[in-house]
Amino acid sequence: MKTFAKLFSSLRLKSQDCGKAGRGEESLEFLYYFADVFTPLSFGLLLLGTIGGLILGATPGLSPTMAVALLIPFTFHLPATQGLILLGAAYTSTVAGGAVSAILLKIPGAPANIATTLDGHPMARQGKGAKALQLSFLASAVGGVFGVLLLIFLTPLLSEWALAFGPSHLFWLAILGVTVIGSLDSASVVKGLLSGCIGLWLATIGFDDIMGAQRFIFHPSLGGGINIIAALIGLFAIPQVITMFAKGRQDNSAEVLVVEKHSIRDAIREMMRRPKALTIGTLTGSIIGLIPGVGGQIAGLVAYDQTKKFSSEPERFGRGHSEGVIAAEAANNAMVGPSLVPLLTLSIPGSPTAAVLLGGLLIHGIFPGSDLFDNHPDVAWTFINSMLIGQVLMCIFGLYVAGLAARVAQVPQSVMAAIVLGLAVFGSYSVQSSMGDVYVMASLGVMMYFLERFGFSAAPLVLGLILGPIAEANFIQGSMIANATNGMAPYFLSGALNISLIVIVIASVAYSAWMELRSRRYTSKEEIIG
Amino acid sequence: MRHLIASAALALTALTGTTTLAEGYPERPVMMMVSYGAGGATDFQARIVTMTAGNEDALGMPVAIINKPGAGGRVGWNWFATQADADGYTLAAYNIPHFIAQSVKGGVEYSAESFEPIANWGADPAVFVVAADSPMNSMNDVVNYAKENPAKLTFSGAGLFVGHHIAALQLEKTAGVKMAYIPTKGGGAAAMKAVIAGDVMGGVNNLSDAFRAQQAGNVKILGVFDLERNAFLPDVPTLKEQGYDIDNASVNFRGIMVPKGTPPEVIDKLAAVVPEMFKNARVASKMKAGGSPMHIMTRDEVKEMWAAREETLKELLAGL
């Protein structure tokens, strides 16, 4: 495999026609193409992609993958570079835009924003919606810029690292995700684990891609399994809608979500005071984003969990703590840059969104991999630079949107409930133009409403739904390979990467158990004092 | 913009419920269902080959692509066989051998008899790949290793009952060896990653994707599962040339079909116009740029190909 260092030097030779260049200068190649982002057409598209992406991202059901896929036909008529700028900007800002509905409505726009709801929505309920939005966009920008810089400077190292993850490692990684389930947003660990189990069971519904078996298809709508976006909307939005309608009936004064004005300068200061959340979020997001096949969906959740575990006041999480929002949003945007590493270097799309971007490149006859950087450095670097600038633009427009949030909140609850219900139906239908997904959304939503009344919560359930297929597919693949080679134990339990992952899993479980004990003592003390 | 207008118009007509078939078919935009996700190879090609549909010399109306992914295409084709209107305004993309292999295996609501082919636009053969640093340099090396180490040679492919799996079955049967086929979740890309990363010793993959990976210096391509060598890879011999009697049953053919019961005059019109639409120079240049091999076939040729494929697959999958 050609490393980027080599690619850089070959670029250098071509563009400069001079002898060997020092390594330090080589890595600054991207600076030569900065000006290309600022041509009227490119910059116009960048603005369009960013603003459009924020709006699409804020709409439940329109995930980053969908947004990028919807834009592909437009790029047929654009030059390659400009087409990619549009797609890159849309990818960046839809991920961040998802925070808007996650915070204000408790409906994550995409799996990446689930963790944002955990503290973002409680903040909104306390009147701190504007602050939560400002923090989420600032954290997104910091994480996002860091992720793209990683993509620019460390790609050769990172691409080898991304390849190192085989089926056994992905299996352990999914198990690490499962260990988070118990401690996530639940009254008790047992209820969290039970919700996670329901999610894992739901994940098995449908045709299994690896063995070809049909499981639990008791209705024709379930043939393709439970669509994750439809489930996400149902589990988060419908209980909200039912609660809002129920309240509206009892009380006509309609409790309105108050949004206090919050200055941007205060938000920046607040974020600077929480360097730990920002750092953990950014680093976790970058690392997880890199791993093909796991990527963005769980980056936010794992980062949230880690931040909580390293925090000196873990009991404040889930009750509107700004660190939760910062960590989750820093992580899901930090994931964007690294998630493109396998695509750009090896031509392997590591995430569904990257697969759609691959189509956008191919349509212009550009093959990702060495061809991209050897023969089309202008396209590659202008694209990467536009993502860098896109992060900044996204932050600026996002902060403006945060100012508007007050208006959304002035809508009476009964009207809000109707709007959210409309969006939920529209969002779940549009995923794959199927009424079946709307039925799935509605049934899961009603089920969740009753489960919530018994203290269960949606986040661990969705995490089970996401992790189930990853754990299962990689376990089956791994065991097939293991049986053909040295056997199960050496395949799953040996090697530095396997062992380190297992150690992290054990540490995570032990820490959760300890936290549970500690928080029990804390609450009982509180009760005595109270 | 055109696609947006097309979908909006489509939604409107669906609401008003006009399904009467006038003389001037098509008088409104046409919908085409793709049973794989947006951005996948089938979706990507379907969008290219239909992009000139609005031209006067083609259908004169745009084609809007609707994705119904799930269960390796089964969800979309089940919907198409049971719920799509047979009025000529609902087309679908087919993938051979996928849907025929699935219907032979059972558990779905369609068979080759549920659909009427219109025309074929592309053919992507399967190839055998190994990592660039693999000691294997020909299909004979692969087969010899498999003979010495029965069921020990791991090789990846994009799932069960797809072209890659069919190619794998043909290879095992013809060479008389037992190997370990590892189906991946996440399509050809995940299968290719497994080869490049060394998770498996080899793999069956799409010619177009393998071509790109070879250009990047990541894999070696050892053989093509087709009747002839491919223009993209003139130096890579077919399996037949290397002494294995394997035909083109695993080649991934893509084209357009309509549900059974579509009026014959509509089918005739589509069968006459669509192959010409595929021949458009802009379509050809976009397809070539994307490394997607084109293979245009008329309705009669596709009918023959479907029938031949069904026979081969019934025989091949009988023991499974």
Q: In B, residues 59-88, which contact A (CB 8 Å cutoff)? A: 66-72, 74-75, 78-79
Taking CA atoms, what residue in A is nearest to B1?
A74
Q: If one looks up domain B2-124+251-317 in CATH, what number appears?
A: 3.40.190.150
Cβ within 8 Å, pair B75-A224: yes
Distance from CA of A357 to the nearest CA of B (A): 8
CB neighbours of A505 closer than 8 A, spacing ≥ 6?
A: A172, A175, A176, A179
Residue A24's pLDDT is: 40
CATH 3.40.190.10: does it fit domain B126-224? yes
Q: In B, residues 255-294, which contact A (CB 8 Å cutoff)? A: 286, 288-292
Instruction: Indicate whether A488 belongs to any domain.
Output: yes
Cβ within 8 Å, pair B107-A214: yes
The answer to whether domain B2-124+251-317 and domain B126-224 are alike in fold is: yes
User: CB–CB of B63/B53 below 8 Å?
Assistant: yes
Cβ within 8 Å, pair A481-B199: yes
The half-sphere exposure of A520 on its side-chain side, counting CA atoms within 13 A, is 9
Distance (Å, whole) CA A52 – CA A46? 10
Residue A256's pLDDT is: 56
Taking CA atoms, what residue in A is nearest to B212?
A367
3-state secondary structure (DSSP) of residue B22: coil
Q: In B, residues 167-196, which contact A (CB 8 Å cutoff)? A: 180, 182-186, 189-190, 192-194, 196
- Could you tell me the residue range of the domain that residue A290 belongs to? 26-520
In the numeric block, which tokens belong to residue B117? 């082919």
Q: Which of B33, B162, B208, B212 to probe the A interface (max A CBs under 10 A)?
A: B212
Distance (Å, whole) CA B219 – CA B131? 4
Which residues of chain B make contact with A76, given a CB cutoff of 8 A?
Answer: 47, 51, 286
Cβ within 8 Å, pair A355-B40: yes
Residue A76's pLDDT is: 74
Q: How far apart are the first and last CA of chain A?
A: 64
Taking CA atoms, what residue in A is nearest to B210?
A347
Instruction: Indicate whether A526 belongs to any domain.
Output: no
Which residues of chain A make contact with B75, given a CB cutoff of 8 A?
Answer: 223-224
CA A379 to chain centre: 26
By CB neighbour count within 10 A (0-12 exposed, 13-18 middle, 19+ buried), where does A383 fall?
buried
Instruction: Indicate whether A432 belongs to any domain.
Output: yes
Nearest to A480 among B75, B132, B182 (CB): B182
- Torsion sign (Cα): A162, A166, A168, A174: positive
Nearest to A347 among B71, B184, B212 (CB): B212
Which residues of chain A make contact with B280, given a CB cutoff of 8 A?
Answer: none
pLDDT in tens, chain A (530 residues): 334 444 434 433 333 333 333 334 456 777 888 888 888 999 999 999 999 999 888 887 778 887 887 787 788 778 888 888 998 899 888 888 889 888 988 888 778 888 999 999 999 888 888 899 999 999 999 999 999 999 988 887 788 888 888 899 989 988 888 878 776 766 677 888 888 889 999 999 987 777 777 888 888 778 778 888 889 889 999 998 898 888 766 655 445 566 777 888 888 998 889 999 999 999 999 988 888 777 667 888 889 988 988 888 888 888 899 999 999 999 999 998 998 888 888 777 777 788 788 877 877 777 787 778 778 888 888 888 889 999 999 999 999 888 777 666 667 777 888 888 998 898 888 877 788 889 999 999 999 999 999 888 888 898 889 888 889 989 999 999 999 988 899 999 999 999 999 998 898 888 877 877 877 776 655 444 43
Cβ within 8 Å, pair B105-A212: yes
Listed residue (B28, B29, B46) closest to B37, CA to CA: B46
Distance (Å, whole) CA A158 – CA A197? 34
* Tens digits of residue pLDDT in B170-214: 999 999 999 999 998 877 888 998 999 999 999 999 998 898 888
Which residues of chain B make contact with A166, given a CB cutoff of 8 A?
Answer: 194, 197-199
Distance from CA of A289 to the nearest CA of B (A): 16
Distance from CA of A473 to the nearest CA of B (A): 7
User: CB–CB of A56/A62 below 8 Å?
Assistant: yes
**Other CB atoms within 10 A of residue A378 CB:** 14
In one-letter notation, the amino acid at residue A485 is T
Cβ within 8 Å, pair A481-B180: yes
Distance from CA of B8 to the nearest CA of A (A): 13
Distance (Å, whole) CA A81 – CA A364? 9
Checking if the pLDDT of B265 tops 90, the result is: yes
Number of Cβ pairs < 8 A linking chain A and chain B: 168
Taking CA atoms, what residue in A is nearest to B188?
A348
Residue A251's pLDDT is: 55
Inform me whether the C-beta atom of residue B10 falls under 8 Å from chain A C-beta atoms.
no
Checking if the pLDDT of B1 tops 60, the result is: no
Distance from CA of A431 to the nearest CA of B (A): 9
Q: What is the ipTM of this complex?
A: 0.82
Inform me whether the C-beta atom of residue B152 falls under 8 Å from chain A C-beta atoms.
yes
Listed residue (A324, A274, A282, A330) closest to A103, CA to CA: A324
* Tens digits of residue pLDDT in A467-525: 888 899 899 999 999 999 888 999 999 999 999 999 988 988 888 778 778 777 766 55
In one-letter notation, the amino acid at residue A341 is V
Residue A238's pLDDT is: 93
pTM: 0.84
Cβ within 8 Å, pair B3-A356: no
Checking if the pLDDT of B95 tops 90, the result is: yes
Nearest to A433 among B66, B153, B186 (CB): B66
User: Residue B61 carries which DSSP code?
Assistant: S
Of all residues in chain B, the percent with pLDDT exceeding 70 is 92
Question: What is the residue extent of each domain of chain B?
Answer: 2-124+251-317, 126-224
Residue B37's pLDDT is: 78
C-alpha Rg value of chain B to the nearest Å: 20
In the numeric block, which tokens belong to residue A179? 């260990």
Cβ within 8 Å, pair B75-A477: no
Q: Where are the alpha helices (DSSP H) in A260-340?
A: 264-272, 275-290, 296-310, 322-334, 336-339
Inform me whether the C-beta atom of residue B206 falls under 8 Å from chain A C-beta atoms.
no
Taking CA atoms, what residue in A is nearest to B196?
A163
Which residues of chain B make contact with A209, given a CB cutoff of 8 A?
Answer: 71-72, 159-160, 183, 185
Alpha-carbon distances, residue B67 vs A106, A232, B51, B139, B264 (angstroms): 28, 20, 16, 37, 26
Q: Which of A78, A91, A209 to probe the B interface (max B CBs under 10 A)?
A: A209
Nearest to B200 among A2, A432, A481 (CB): A481
Which residues of chain B make contact with A75, given a CB cutoff of 8 A?
Answer: none
Cβ within 8 Å, pair A352-B37: yes
Q: Per-residue pLDDT averaged across B48-55, rounded?
A: 90
Taking CA atoms, what residue in A is nearest to B191?
A348
Which helix (H) or strand (E) covers residue B259, if one does?
strand B252-259
Instruction: Indicate whether A525 belongs to any domain.
Output: no
Distance (Å, whole) CA A258 – CA A254? 12
Which residues of chain A make contact with B218, given a CB cutoff of 8 A?
Answer: 1, 346-347, 369
Instruction: Indicate whether A281 belongs to any domain.
Output: yes
Q: What is the number of structural domains in chain A?
A: 1
Distance from CA of A361 to the nearest CA of B (A): 8
Of all residues in chain A, the percent with pLDDT exceeding 90 is 26
